[in-house]
Amino acid sequence: MPVENDGRPDHHRRGGRVLRRRTLLGTAVGAGAGLGLGAGAAPGAVGRTRQDEAGGAGRDRIRVTILLYEGCTALDAVGPYEVLCRVPGVRVTMVAKEAGPVTSDTGELRLVAERSIRDVHRTEVLVVPGAGNPGTLAMMRDTEVHDWLRRMHRRTTWTTSVCTGSLILGAAGLLKGVPATTYWAARPVLKDVGAIDTPGRFVESGKIITAGGVSAGMDMGLRLVQLLSDTRTAQAMQLGIEYDPQPPFDTGSPEKAGPELQELALRLVEEAAG
Amino acid sequence: MPVENDGRPDHHRRGGRVLRRRTLLGTAVGAGAGLGLGAGAAPGAVGRTRQDEAGGAGRDRIRVTILLYEGCTALDAVGPYEVLCRVPGVRVTMVAKEAGPVTSDTGELRLVAERSIRDVHRTEVLVVPGAGNPGTLAMMRDTEVHDWLRRMHRRTTWTTSVCTGSLILGAAGLLKGVPATTYWAARPVLKDVGAIDTPGRFVESGKIITAGGVSAGMDMGLRLVQLLSDTRTAQAMQLGIEYDPQPPFDTGSPEKAGPELQELALRLVEEAAG
């Protein structure tokens, strides 16, 4: 075991889990520097009671609820989840019409919804991810989901979407006259749901925040951390997921990509979504 | 239904699914521009036979296998998945020691492993995601997983990792003398597994590619698309997930964040990973 036989001075190997933790993740900023990597009781730590029911009492005061559905795009949900889930006081719960595994747009990944929307009556933060055409269209027609979205929205602190999730919010009637964005190729549809097509990686309009396509949910997620907690925590979470993006290309927006890559991208996305 | 009653001329509403598809995602680059959004048979499309067994025959020539395990970090797995899963000829399969739901590091998200590693005997691309300390340490000690990693690695085209996944590859003996990277705070551990700590968002060393922390798997994933397909496809996939990053802060690397945010980030990550 490399961790056990790492050639470090003996005191680095004593003390069981705590020192091994420091060995793994603590050395970069120095052992003993007040990292609070010991078991529990870190200074300033806000305890989490993970055994609590989502929506229950306990010290997780901020409920973040992410709606999964058949055909949704996995990264739309997992991007915001990953930046929000470690924020003190936040508990993220994946929900769907029925609890259980939900298949993503490509059919190659399943995420588990822990609860049915029928059992979720309130959330501070609602996140609606997007999908390829089949998933988006199904949700734009699903009146049971629309009823639930409208009920949740009445008492949310923030109602948010990623990618074509905004079209689902719009189909539920929540974007009438609201500046919003969506997946780059779907922006012309925003007006069809009564929204005001507005440029931006994410667009804040009162308590509604809509993000652009797929990966934009990470950027919106960091903004949500700032709103739910504070700037330092949001900045720390950016480092926590080492979000120092260096894509090998610079073709992430339709303007930068140009028409030929736009066509190819849409074809690949459509084929994968069946 | 906004899509059905959108005030467009009548011919836009005829033709069922195909035209609705164009309405949703096709208008940005113009209907009839050869997008191939019709049902199947798009020009230049590489067919996918999703019903095939992973590892079976059919037109999915490139098997990408992502190892899930208890405590792994969801975005480490979903980032590469999301950029690779739509590449023509690629099939991504999530695997774990046992098929079924696998709980991520925070305990708040479960991803489903479709197959047990015992049933997976070959893959072109192997991806090992990282984890918090508990998950990473468990995998660094798991000889059954190490045996499987070594067997896979013998015949892979690319053996890759995200975040502390490189420490798991290293514990399996695959990084002896290999330039590699890992999660920023774990870089001092690389030498303990015989690797050469090397800066970079991702580091290519022969057929081994190791990415930095969590979100770096997306950048590495785009490079993999280029290696497995071509530059145009990789660029199109960057647009496909609208990966035009605009985080609201610039604290994604330890250097940019500074020591105080490093401490806070590690504390938040550690607490969430239990």
What pLDDT does A272 receive? 79
Greatest mean pLDDT among A11-15, A32-36, B52-56, B232-236: B232-236
B92 and A85 in contact by Cβ < 8 A? no
Per-residue pLDDT for A217 more than 60? Answer: yes
Count up the domains in chain A and report the number.
1
- Across chain B, which has 274 residues, the per-10-residue mean pLDDT values are 35 35 45 27 32 43 97 98 96 98 95 98 98 96 98 98 98 98 97 97 98 98 97 97 97 97 94 74
Average pLDDT value over all residues in chain A: 83
Alpha carbon distance B66, B78 (integer Å): 9
C-alpha closest to that of A218 among B260, B79, B81, B254: B79
Question: Which among A49, A68, A210, A215 is the top mutation candidate for probing chain B, defined by the most B β-carbons within 10 Å of its own β-carbon?
Answer: A215
- For residue B140, the chain A residues in CB contact (below 8 A) are 1-3
Per-residue pLDDT for A139 more than 90? Answer: yes
C-alpha closest to that of A161 among A143, A192, A186: A186
Alpha carbon distance A54, A91 (integer Å): 7
What pLDDT does A24 receive? 54
Q: Between B140, B231, B263, which is nearest A35 by CB?
A: B263
Is residue B72 one of the residues assigned to a domain?
A: yes
Is residue A220 one of the residues assigned to a domain?
A: yes
Residues near B187 by Cβ (< 8 Å), separated by ≥ 6? A28, B181, B197
What pLDDT does A263 receive? 96
A 190-219 residues inside an 8 A Cβ radius of B: 192-194, 201, 212-216, 218-219
- Is pLDDT larger for residue A65 or for residue B5? A65
- Mind listing the pLDDT tens digit for each residue in B214-254? 999 999 999 999 999 999 999 999 999 999 999 999 999 99
Is residue B121 one of the residues assigned to a domain?
A: yes
Q: Between B91, B185, B192, which is nearest A28 by CB?
A: B185
What pLDDT does A273 receive? 74
- Nearest chain B Cα distance for residue A12, angstroms: 13
Is residue B57 one of the residues assigned to a domain?
A: yes
Alpha carbon distance B106, A274 (integer Å): 32
What is the pTM assigned to this prediction?
A: 0.83
Chain A CA closest to residue B265: A236
Is residue B6 one of the residues assigned to a domain?
A: no
Q: Which of B126, B163, B171, B193 is catalytic?
A: B163
A268 and B78 in contact by Cβ < 8 A? no
A264 and B232 in contact by Cβ < 8 A? yes
CB of A132 closer than 8 Å to CB of B26: no
What pLDDT does A109 receive? 97
User: What separation, in Å, do the N-terminal and C-terminal C-alpha atoms of chain B show?
Assistant: 45
A268 and B88 in contact by Cβ < 8 A? yes
Give the CATH number of the domain where residue B185 resides: 3.40.50.880
- Mind listing the pLDDT tens digit for each residue in A69-93? 999 999 999 999 999 999 999 999 9
B 77-116 residues inside an 8 A Cβ radius of A: 78-79, 81-82, 85-88, 91-94, 101, 106-112, 114
Confidence of residue A270 (pLDDT cuts 50, 70, 90): confident
Tally C-beta pairs within 8 A across A and B. 402
User: Is B163 among the residues known to form the active site?
Assistant: yes
Give the pairing type, strands A100-103 and A110-113: antiparallel
- Mind listing the pLDDT tens digit for each residue in B173-201? 999 999 999 999 999 999 999 999 999 99
Is residue A216 one of the residues assigned to a domain?
A: yes
Give the pairing type, strands B100-103 and B110-113: antiparallel
What pLDDT does B274 receive? 62
Is residue B114 one of the residues assigned to a domain?
A: yes
Alpha carbon distance A114, A137 (integer Å): 24
Give the pairing type, strands A125-128 and A202-205: unpaired
Alpha carbon distance A185, A214 (integer Å): 12
User: What's the mean pLDDT in A2-6?
Assistant: 35
Beta strands in A139-217 (DSSP E): 158-161, 179-180, 196-197, 202-205, 208-211
Is residue A1 one of the residues assigned to a domain?
A: no
- For residue B1, the chain A residues in CB contact (below 8 A) are 140-141, 171
Chain B CA closest to residue A218: B247
- Is pLDDT larger for residue A6 or for residue B67? B67
Collect contacts of A48-57 with beta carbons under 8 A, ≥24 apart.
Answer: A48/A88, A48/A89, A48/A91, A48/B271, A48/B272, A50/A91, A50/B107, A50/B108, A50/B274, A52/A91, A54/A91, A54/A93, A54/A114, A54/A115, A54/A120, A55/A93, A55/A120, A55/A121, A55/A122, A55/A123
ipTM of the complex: 0.82
Chain B CA closest to residue A103: B112
What pLDDT does A35 receive? 23
Alpha carbon distance B261, A92 (integer Å): 23
Alpha carbon distance A127, A271 (integer Å): 26
- Mind listing the pLDDT tens digit for each residue in A218-267? 999 999 999 999 999 999 999 999 999 999 999 999 999 999 999 999 99
- Domain span at residue B134 reads 42-244+251-272
CB of A40 closer than 8 Å to CB of A49: no
Alpha carbon distance B31, B27 (integer Å): 6
What pLDDT does A274 receive? 62
A269 touches chain B (CB under 8 A): yes
DSSP assignment of chain B: -TTTSS---GGGT-STHHHHHIIIIIGGG-TTSS---SSS--TTPPP--TTSPTTSSSS--EEEEEE--TTB-HHHHHHHHHHHTTSTTEEEEEEESSSEEEE-TTSS-EEEE-EEGGG----SEEEE--B-HHHHHHHHT-HHHHHHHHHHHHH-SEEEE-TTHHHHHHHTT--TT-EE---GGGGGGGGGGT-EE--SSEEEETTEEEE-STTHHHHHHHHHHHHHS-HHHHHHHHHHTT-----SS---SHHHHHHHHHHHHHHHHHHHT-
Alpha carbon distance A131, A143 (integer Å): 18
